[in-house]
Structure 1
């Protein structure tokens, strides 16, 4: 890939990857302290404008939740899928399943001492903290030996937002065709969320990120996503939610009440609709993120989705510096973003079938 890209394009790609991952984490952290409050309670506690910055969650400002945790392990799984290709194996859902099992370990184990040979991310001590993980995500990973598939998905009745909120990284695969990005996101969503709305919303979100990562207008990403969603059975809820977000843009001045008309964000289609709407109407990053979290519902997930989109659209230079500075795990998130960009553009110089063990394969073991 790198040989085909100019220096400017490579720099733009890295900036957008950073923007997507850090932007999503900021949105997640902005919503972390208010996700279980009604809009009236948010305004009572934080004023008529709601939250205007980080509020205390998990005993600190800038704390991330399971949304960012799982997104980071999605990125790691994608890197390791590409590294494992050196062995002749290529089945990314298997690698993502392994990544999510490593995430699950951080939700129950006290620390990383027993994880010495499983790559660097699972050894990050700050990740060993349970941040209100979704029950479907935990249930879907209980039987570690059995992966969910489209034919036999885990939790076939679950359409919670736990799959869509972690799916932005699939959209970072800019060398892939949109339909393949969509398919991979769907196949990895059913590892934990088997309801069609749960996995189609994840696929749609990934495709929208994929479009804006390449400089397309957000509306173009929506058009592509709708085409792919409508080509699948049982697409009505997801398609309606995407169309509702677009219709809300034309309905008038953005407001928390208009956000709440799209739902609360606990389900996949509502979280996607709210995050998408806020990104569509956002005049700038901060305004869009605050609109995405100040509502009664799953504020961290809708903030995360909006942040992923805006960051992928504009790159890391638009991220509000004060919010970046106080973000939990910022160094690790940036490191993972840069590692992903290197793997996607210069992977052949980092590892290969004949290279044996390298510093890169110790960071991202092909197992």
Structure 2
């Protein structure tokens, strides 16, 4: 596991992110099902995860992967700075035209409608005190694939925050984008997973605050609303015994689908687990910590719960694929994915750029 990720790992990261999205979404049926046990029952009736062939029309990708692809395809142009941000903003506007049956969130819809790519500063929108959702987190893992090395942390932070606040200008929203990108970079670095949350708080958060202050956009509002994200993450790490960044993980017993529904809800901002920028990556990390190299266990925890299940699985699937490749994943879960060619092409170009 110490060897750096290969091109195959990059492809697995992008493919299994999309697979997790499609599985957790189940064409709207599971994203809006509030009972993990009920979803697990339906999963058994489908023949379990190995019985599912993820393909149209029953298993489309959601808005999560459409916008993750938009981020990735912006990054692989090789543009930097303001040019990159204009490019990504343009691709978000284009991506929003591909939302039939995909259920984008309200902040994503509003934010993209306010973007003006091509005009100076047109990638920035007004501060939105409601912009706390997970829509920025769910599309940002590829930023960690583009900037995987420790010395690239400043680029990862600036790009994830600036692209995140194109739709989610509230810290709880855009710091979720940074967390999803950061955890993907940690997976590429083969950092012990028990240290990821502590790294987020100790390494990334101070640098993120400094970046927001230096960028000079909505500084006062951002700092006013800054505290919740860190406080909730500190609480979670304390719950799992990971405040110092070393294991072992403290798990509740039992911790099946019903118990996870309650736990994930306790992570949440307003009772909808995984719906916000802080807790979509949090549930993804919780699932990764609890499943090791077992894809079916990962999906059980990250995709099949009574919350925003596609947005937690899209993050978890990317990190897991980068760590483990496609080994042990039923081919039906990813071989016939919608947009598979685009997904693999983006992965190939991200891998080349990251080197």
| 1:141 alignment partner, SS class | helix
Cα distance change on mapping 1:153 and 1:225 into 2, 3 Å: farther
Mapped partners of 1:91, 1:271: distance in 2: 29
8 Å Cα contact 2:50-2:332 kept in structure 1: no
For 1:94, the equivalent position in structure 2 comes to: 86
Mapped partners of 2:196, 2:134: distance in 1: 20
- Bigger Rg over Cα: 1
Task: Kindly state the Cα deviation for residue 46 of structure 1 after the two structures are TM-superposed.
Answer: 4.2
Are 1:36 and 2:32 counterparts? Answer: yes
1:281 to 279, 285, 290: 290
Are 1:298 and 2:308 counterparts? Answer: yes
Cα distance change on mapping 1:166 and 1:53 into 2, 3 Å: farther
Q: How does 1:1-367 map to 2 (within 5 A)?
A: 12-33=5-26, 34-39=30-35, 40-43=37-40, 45-47=42-44, 52=49, 60-80=57-77, 82=78, 84=79, 91-107=83-99, 129-145=100-116, 147-149=122-124, 153-172=126-145, 173-175=147-149, 176-227=151-202, 228-229=204-205, 232=209, 233=223, 234-246=225-237, 247-248=239-240, 249-253=249-253, 254-260=255-261, 261-263=263-265, 264-283=273-292, 284-317=294-327, 319-345=329-355
Mapped partners of 1:259, 1:230: distance in 2: 31
Mapped partners of 1:324, 1:42: distance in 2: 20
Mapped partners of 1:334, 1:226: distance in 2: 32
TM-score scaled by structure 1?
0.75
Q: Deviations over 1:120-178 (max 9, x none)?
A: xxxxxxxxx441112211211113426354xx645342111100011101111124522
Mapped partners of 1:43, 1:212: distance in 2: 28
Q: How many residues align?
A: 308
Task: Kindly state the Cα deviation for residue 226 of structure 1 after the two structures are TM-superposed.
Answer: 1.3
8 Å Cα contact 1:154-1:192 kept in structure 2: no
RMSD: 2.9
Mind listing any 5+ residue stretches in structure 2 that lack a counterpart? Answer: 210-222, 241-248, 266-272
Mapped partners of 1:92, 1:218: distance in 2: 30
For 2:269, the equivalent position in structure 1 comes to: none
TM-score scaled by structure 2?
0.77
8 Å Cα contact 1:26-1:323 kept in structure 2: yes
